[in-house]
Structure 1
């Protein structure tokens, strides 16, 4: 099936309240344009340099989401244009995003990443770290970032019960934080980003309203 056919098929399955981030990492501009022509406007990349090159070359109404692990020294390259940073896993990183957003006279939306997987290779904070970041004086003084939700990645496993349990942990924290943090200029918890090609259906049932799907749209990735 073509990119457009895959995209149409997936969009039909998604509830209206779920945002689809088409994960275009390692994919050529032609494939992104094919999805763009089918109406897709939100794309996710995991390398800042690759995303910046694509931003420069492709239509300007595309929303670029940074979905990978972020190195602080590279934030400056995406600060002029990035729409949403999914993987904020420390106060230090948030400070750098705030600094670079200020230089570009922007407020950058961010998701805090929680470590929910059993794999140690995944990034993210635990519940205590997320709560302490949100309540910290340093965060309260940042004027150029806005935390709009949480993100997490489940363990890469065939065990659906485990995946469900991990997603439920994140959804519970999201609901708890939403109740205890009234909306301000700094924080407005609306987005729960969880679920990828292999597990997005479980994620949606667990409360996700943003899914990151790549291979089911674009086919297998080319890392050569």
Structure 2
């Protein structure tokens, strides 16, 4: 599967949006309730710009260095989502380098929540929207709080981080998709528990789940935010290693 050209990526995005609409109809939801994050990891600014020019505004990146390099080259009304593992020492470069960062979807412990809260305050920027990442697949290689800890972390963010806006939960799930329904059910259960504990209406608590291979199923199971990369952009392009 070759990388998609700018025009092909635009067509691919349109196809994704049609599939989002169809999935929404199947579960009697409005397509406008579903946010499509175009995950542009390893992709050039020119391709992102093409999708922007076609009308899309929501993009996601996994690495701080990439989004810090790309964001200044693109329009300021893009809604950037950071969806990768975030280390404390990268928080200030991220928030300083991307003033239009809208979401951090990967808050997985109190330490990173505290750091984000403090840096947002120090920069004098408006509260940052965050999602609590939950490890629904139980894999040691995955970031995220255990499902049993999601209520405590969500409570910590809402009670101790005035510069963060808790907006919901996020999961990645298993990459082979064998446990996708269970992962999604687990995140939905976590939302129910968080909303009951914090007194939040479930419709005010987002579920970020679903990627290129399973976003339609995720929508049918309640996702409000799908993160789609390869179906739109083609496979990721990593630099070839030399001199091993």
Distance in 2 of aligned mates of 1:189 and 1:89: 20
Q: Is the 2:132–2:150 contact (alpha carbons within 8 Å) kept by the matching residues of 1?
A: yes
Alignment correspondent of 2:176: 157
SS where residue 211 of structure 1 aligns?
A: strand
What's the offset of the Cα at 1:129? 2.0
1:26 to 17, 38, 42: 42
Query: Distance in 2 between the 1:129 and 1:189 partners?
Result: 20
Structure 1-normalised TM-score? 0.91
Asked if the contact 1:147–1:189 (Cα under 8 Å) also holds between the matched residues in 2, the reply is no
User: What is the CA deviation profile of residues 25-55 of structure 1, one whole-angstrom value per residue up to 9, with x for unaligned ones?
Assistant: 1000011011111111000001112101111
Q: In structure 2, what is the equivalent of residue 217 of structure 1?
A: 232
Contact 2:39/2:228 (8 A) holds in 1: yes
Partner of 2:188: 171
User: Which structure has more helix as a fraction of its residues?
Assistant: 2
For structure 2, which runs of at least 5 residues remain unmatched after alignment? 25-30, 240-244
Question: Could you tell me whether the CA contact under 8 Å between 2:150 and 2:194 is conserved in 1?
Answer: no
- Structure 1: any 5+ residue segments left out of the alignment? none
Q: Which residue of 1 aligns with 2:10?
A: 4
* Superimposed CA distance per residue, residues 52-76 of structure 1 (whole angstroms, 9 cap, x where no aligned partner): 1111111111011000000110101
**Aligned residue number for residue 46 of structure 1:** 62
Partner of 2:95: 79
RMSD in angstroms over aligned alpha carbons?
1.8
Residue of structure 1 equivalent to 2:220: 205
* Secondary structure at 1:111 match in 2: strand
Cα distance in structure 1, aligned partners of 2:204 and 2:110: 17
C-alpha displacement at 1:176, in angstroms? 2.6
1:79 is paired with a residue of what secondary structure? helix
Query: How far apart are 1:133 and its partner, in Å?
Result: 2.3
**Cα deviation 1:154-177 (Å, max 9, x = unaligned):** 111252xx2101111101111232
In 2, the alpha carbon distance for the partners of 1:119 and 1:128 equals 15
Alpha-carbon separation, structure 1, partners of 2:123 and 2:89: 16
